[in-house]
Amino acid sequence: MSQQPEPSLTEEPEPPPCPASCGPGGGLRNPCYGYECISDARRLISFCWVVANLLVLAFLACALAVAAQNDCSEAYCSRSLGFAAVWTLFMCLGVMVGGTKVMR
């Protein structure tokens, strides 16, 4: 068995790796892999807000599809499901717009 030497308590630990934007070319050629987003609380909140807004925009397509699918006169159709989807969409869009105004 090979034994690895115990790290000395007097040795200084290696510094963390340089964030991607500090090198030449900045973050365009070197992706940040989320380092810059989590290093600052404001950036983290902004990043989460953008992700949430993108999910609301994806929900837009789903809500419209549900409303279109349930707009018929067959027995299996329920216009109330379409109404609920569109109403929830309007509420989410309102929170998205209002929250964005507050964030700025």
pLDDT in tens, 2-25: 666 666 666 666 655 555 445 444
pLDDT tens-digit series, residues 48-78: 899 999 999 999 999 999 888 888 888 778 8
Pinpoint the alpha helices (H) of the chain. Answer: 26-29, 35-39, 41-69, 79-103
**81 contacts 51 by C-beta, under 8 angstroms:** no
Phi/psi region, residue 2 (left: phi>0; alpha: psi -120 to 50; beta: rest), is beta
Domain boundaries, the chain: 41-103
Q: Is 33 left (phi over 0), alpha (psi -120 to 50) or beta?
A: left
Calpha distance 61→55 (Å, rounded): 10
Let me know: does 18 contact 26? Beta carbons within 8 Å. Answer: no
